[in-house]
Amino acid sequence: MKHSLLLALLLGGARAALAQDLTNNGATLTLTGGAILSTRGTLNNASGTLDLSSGANQLYVGDNLLNGSGATLTPGTASTVTLNGTAAQQLDLKGAGLANLTVNNTSGGVALPASSNADVAGALTLTSGMLTTDASSTLRLLNGATLTGETSTRYVAGNLAAAKASVPAGAVTAFPNGLAITPAAALTNLTVTRTAGLNTAQLSYGTNAAGTNAGIDQIWRTSAPLTDAAVQLTWLAANDNGLSNLSNSQVWARTAAPVAGSGWARISASQNAAATRSVTGTVPATAGFSFFTVSIAAEPLPVTLVDFTALAEGPAAVRLRWATASELNNAGFTVERSLDGRAFAAIGKMAGAGTSTTAHTYALLDGQLPAGAKQLYYRLRQEDTDGVVTYSPVRSVAFEVSPNTLFSLYPNPARSKLTADGLLTGAAVEVFDAVGRRVAIATADAAGVAQLVLPTGLATGVYVVRSGAQAQRLVVE
């Protein structure tokens, strides 16, 4: 026969507060034999022991469930904790774990406070209400744990981690937070963390450099980089993040934690995910990626191009230089030139590095300039092996600049920062040392102003500041 322990828990140092709160200050509270404990208020295991380990015991909490930093919570393997409040609830276990957790909150949801993780070893069941963590806390599903009941109106928003002791080679292993992996070689002790629904760039969704394109509001990260593996990503409609045409969905991946617009690489063809919200991609054997998300072909995320400059070399040539941080299936670059910044034509091609996670630099000299041109525009056309094309920002170069139109430079002498004024919009301005090495670069804004930051510890002496065909002397103190 099951017993209610609501009154029995008033013994041995446990204390009942108003509104049916239960606070344990030093006692050992034990549920055995399938017992049921129910409280409409807060259950605070402040400094004692709460032992649920003997049987399929059930604990119902209508307000907060708190576990003190010096307290002990023993969940066992069969007990179930149900959070069934009618207002916002807090789950603060200070890193302790539960066997099974059910969220049945009818209004307000359940939240993990900052920097307070919680583990679930068995079943996490969502029947009503959201379960939310902030950026610094994580709900962790241990090896073998399951998750049921997620919908667009009830799911784990924030950080949801899931662990697997083994991921066998050649077989699909589905993690309960929406990532499935089929590796070529077996993996051990892999954890996948899904960050979803926080509506925060570079935390729960990726962007391009300008911030104009954004992926879904879910990013998955693996505790170790994936190499030579197929991945399948499944998300909720609530996390579409404004993407309206899912018929050309694509998988994107990167090696390190997202920053604005850099490092994302596409690892799948376009797929129609409108009905399933599920896409598949392939991590090549030559790459290793730890972060995964989804965007659409119309709003690509990657900008692996980290530097692109076009500088005049005398009155009859332009030197193009660019660099990439990483490349994936990169067939190559086409350099295009324009007289008006609108109609471009190809002037040269460079082969890409294919797939690489290391930096690469490229250079091309345009030595056949159109006669009489006073300003030229350049861009890069990058093409993947499957034909997908991405364009770089446009760079401009001006010619026939008379001495009285030189840009201004101040302060001069300088120590750490200086301003170049009177430049063309979008023009690059560079600082070179006495042997021709570039030590700083910036791009002029719409007002023709560029802010240059000199490297820390730069040697004192005379340097050259150049923009297009213009050059000025700079003294560094």
pLDDT computed for residue 262 by the predictor: 60
Residues 148/176, Cβ–Cβ less than 8 Å:
no
> Which long-range contacts does 82-91 make (Cβ < 8 Å, 24+ apart)?
82/58, 83/110, 84/60, 85/61, 85/110, 86/62, 87/63, 89/61, 89/62, 89/63, 89/64, 89/65, 90/64, 90/65, 90/66, 91/64, 91/65, 91/118, 91/131
What is the tens place of the pLDDT at every residue in 86-144? 999 999 999 999 999 999 999 999 999 999 999 999 999 999 999 999 999 999 999 99
Do you find a cis peptide bond into 413, omega within 30 degrees of 0?
Answer: yes
Q: What is the pTM of this model?
A: 0.67
What is the tens place of the pLDDT at every residue in 284-315? 887 789 999 999 877 766 546 667 899 988 77
pLDDT computed for residue 25 by the predictor: 93
What is the tens place of the pLDDT at every residue in 385-429? 777 777 777 898 987 654 445 788 989 888 889 999 888 878 889
Run means of pLDDT, 10 residues per run, the chain, 477 residues? 37 41 92 93 95 95 95 96 97 96 97 95 98 96 98 97 97 98 97 97 85 91 95 97 92 81 77 96 86 86 71 85 77 91 91 78 89 84 79 81 66 90 85 86 87 90 85 87
Using CB atoms within 10 A of its CB, is residue 239 exposed (0-12), middle (13-18) or buried (19+)?
buried
Structure tokens at 467: 């923009």
What residue type is 331 in one-letter code?
A
Q: What is the CA radius of gyration of the chain?
A: 30
